[in-house]
């Protein structure tokens, strides 16, 4: 984010220096205000996206039941939805159902127990470290 701010400040100073040769001071003030408003409108979505990324983290989980967690299934904490499964399937090599989900930071520690709503019932899952499998060298 600091890089965007630096680029904006440099661009604004160059533009105002160039316009200062041709415009009266009152119009320069107006131009400066318009540039600032435009920057806020352009950078606000990027800032919100950046802040959203800081609030969530993608984590792996193992399903403690036979039901596979599919993408779109709600992730529950104490019965309340906090996220959705991004991908999930049976892993033949591990012989387990595994999946990934973007979770709020307070639920991303390995060993955290959660639930996933599979059809009409909640299934227990546990957050695990990724990658799910590390081959021996």
Domain check: are 33 and 87 in the same one?
Answer: no
pLDDT at 119: 87
Taking alpha carbons only, the member of 122, 126, 121, 120 closest to residue 103 is: 126
Q: Is residue 12 assigned to a domain?
A: yes
Q: At residue 1, does pLDDT exceed 60?
A: no
| Paired strand residues for 128 | 60
pLDDT at 50: 60
Domain check: are 74 and 27 in the same one?
Answer: no
Q: How many domains does the chain have?
A: 2
pTM for the model stands at 0.61
- pLDDT, tens only, 39-91: 666 666 666 656 655 688 899 999 998 889 999 999 999 989 999 999 999 99
Taking alpha carbons only, the member of 50, 65, 134, 47 closest to residue 94 is: 134
Domain check: are 97 and 33 in the same one?
Answer: no
Alpha-carbon span 73 to 60, nearest angstrom = 14
Domain check: are 72 and 119 in the same one?
Answer: yes
Q: Is residue 133 assigned to a domain?
A: no
Domain check: are 9 and 71 in the same one?
Answer: no
CA 33, 36, 41, 47 torsion: positive or negative?
A: negative
């Amino acid at each position: 984010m600091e890089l965007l701010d630096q680029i904006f400040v440099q661009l604004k100073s160059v533009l105002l220096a160039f316009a200062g040769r041709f415009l009266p001071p009152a119009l320069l003030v107006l131009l400066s205000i318009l540039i600032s408003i435009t920057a806020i409108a352009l950078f606000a979505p990027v800032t919100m996206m950046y802040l959203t990324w800081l609030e969530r983290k993608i984590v792996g989980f193992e399903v403690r039941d036979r039901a596979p967690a599919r993408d779109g299934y709600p992730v529950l904490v104490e019965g309340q939805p906090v996220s959705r499964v991004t991908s999930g399937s049976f892993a033949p090599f591990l012989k387990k159902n595994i999946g990934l989900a973007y979770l709020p930071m307070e639920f991303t520690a390995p060993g955290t127990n959660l639930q996933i709503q599979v059809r009409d019932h909640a299934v227990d899952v546990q957050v695990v470290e990724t990658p799910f499998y590390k081959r021996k060298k």
